[in-house]
Chain A
């Protein structure tokens, strides 16, 4: 990075740290922060969509749809995250490869399961085994997003389901009195008003999602906790920058990062609560109305 980094062992402390903190492996550490933020940015809306679909299905008048919605929320919420992550990801990966295998290699005669091995033909490998490393990483990342979205979608579905029932019945009756159809009442009256009831539950989920990101490493994505442990471990002079066990400092850095994320989230969620309370038949909405009047 800097020109004076040629021989780290000869540097005084400040320069040594300037070089140490900008070496290649630290850039991979910094990149992993972006990975985590990207995961949050993609997963949160996708999980919300899953949750919304789940909640809609759960209150559907069509019985099979309702069963699907109820089963989804009950099952996924009941399984421990770590078990779900280990089981579901392997199962999903193998299911995709099995489907690709059926399509790509119909002439294959060997069994796919041979003891512990899961063997499909090379054309059915997802991603292709000769694909560049970034394709493998992107694939792992998308699987991670999908899995996180399913898990957190189930919790969101329950939160939204409750929020939909919390909207005062009188509001919906008014809509019906104006001759709106069921669908119109749902989209024009129920959905715009339910968010304020859903927000406390959803904000909990968001906080839990932030904390759950270290599960990424289970899915083969190198996240910030992995790198903190890796970089903090003691280094012999085999490395350019030998140092004793510094894991404490790296984990302290993570602590600051997570607390910072929490603080930013609180501020934004506070603003969102004020915005959504506007004109609502809730105590916060009533206070706002009085303040203006």
Chain B
């Protein structure tokens, strides 16, 4: 019995070693807390716009993909240290991030960020604004006169407004709109702000081949209109398309 187990283990290990050529499985890192971009559904699986998009991109690039959850805070360090191969987590393309990792072309066009508050007269210039740590929105608020209150997860930023800790929350419009629409107390205030160069997939700077594979897949989805259809399906008719 022991021998059977041992030889089975050895067999499994050598099979593993034989399959070890680059990226036979592409591990897709996401946050799972930013509906409708990506979230954990009621069955405990990764779901959302990026889940559908990612699976389609992998199918087009003929890659086997696996989904991995990671905290937003450490999502870039864990990519560079090799825990997964891509970031597909509603991450806006910015120059600062581009110095550390590489991005594919964007799969969501530059979209507007919104303020959501409990009342119309919330002080957006000098009040307390909640935003998620390490986002372009947090970076934007830090530059204005308002006080920035950072949280680790998107949900906490909205909770901070509900319980009065912050005057308003500043985040992607696509994330905030469904929340504001369903909660009678919350409303969109101020003007939309255009930030970043759209949302793209993040990859290690050394993974040029993988980036090109995904770039080609995204381009083919842009060309045949499936990407626009997917954006409208998840973000609504008013969403910006290509």
Task: Encode A224-236 as 1/0 by CB contact (under 8 A) with B.
Answer: 0000011001101
Q: Given A25-B44, A230-B40, is A131 in contact with B68 using a C-beta cutoff of 8 Å? A: no
A90 touches B81 (CB 8 A): yes
Q: How far is the CA of A279 from the CA of B25 in the complex (A)?
A: 62
Cβ 8 A contact of A123, one of B20, B23, B205? B20
**Interface residue? B52 (CB, 8 A):** no
A117 CA / B76 CA spacing, docked (Å): 11
Pair A131/B16 contact, Cβ less than 8 Å: yes
Query: Interface extent on B, as a size class?
Result: 35 or more
A119 contact set on B, CB distance < 8 A: 82, 204, 206
A114 interface residue (CB < 8 Å to B): yes
Q: Which of B1-45 contact A (CB under 8 A)?
A: 16-17, 19-25, 27, 32-33, 35-36, 39-45
Besides the contacts A28-B44, A122-B22, what 11 more A-B pairs have beta carbons closer than 8 Å?
Answer: A25-B43, A116-B100, A117-B80, A119-B204, A128-B17, A129-B23, A129-B25, A217-B71, A230-B32, A240-B42, A242-B182
Judge whether B42 and A239 touch: CB under 8 Å.
Answer: yes
> Within residues 127 to 172 of chain B, which ones have a CB less than 8 A from any CB in chain A?
153, 155-156, 158-159, 162
A-B contact pairs, 30 of them (CB 8 A): A24-B43, A25-B40, A25-B43, A90-B81, A117-B80, A117-B204, A118-B82, A123-B17, A128-B17, A128-B19, A130-B19, A130-B20, A130-B24, A131-B25, A136-B68, A220-B83, A230-B33, A233-B155, A233-B156, A234-B155, A234-B158, A234-B179, A238-B36, A239-B35, A240-B41, A241-B42, A242-B182, A245-B159, A245-B162, A247-B159
A24, A131, A236: which contacts B42 (Cβ < 8 A)?
A24
Interface SS majority for chain B = loop
Whole-angstrom distance between the Cβ of A132 and the nearest chain B Cβ:
8
A233 to B71, CA, bound (A): 15
Chain A residues with CB under 8 Å of B25's CB are: 129-131
Chain A, 250-265, CB within 8 A of any chain B CB: none
CB distance A236 to B100 under 8 Å? Answer: no
Contact of A125 among B35, B41, B42, B82 (CB under 8 A): B82
- Interface assignment of B66: CB less than 8 Å from any CB of chain A: yes
**For A238, what are the chain B residues with a Cβ–Cβ distance below 8 Å?**
35-36, 39, 178
B92 at the interface (CB under 8 A from A): no
Shortest CB distance B51–A (Å): 13
Cα A114 to Cα B42 in complex, Å, equals 40
Measured CB to CB, the closest approach of chain B to A219, in angstroms, equals 11
**Beta-carbon contact of A239 and B41 below 8 Å:** yes
CB pair A236–B33 under 8 Å, yes or no, is no
Judge if A223 is at the interface, Cβ distance under 8 Å. Answer: no
Known: A122-B21, A128-B20, A238-B36. A229 touches B153 (CB 8 A): yes
**Inter-chain contacts of A239 with B (CB < 8 A):** 35, 39, 41-42
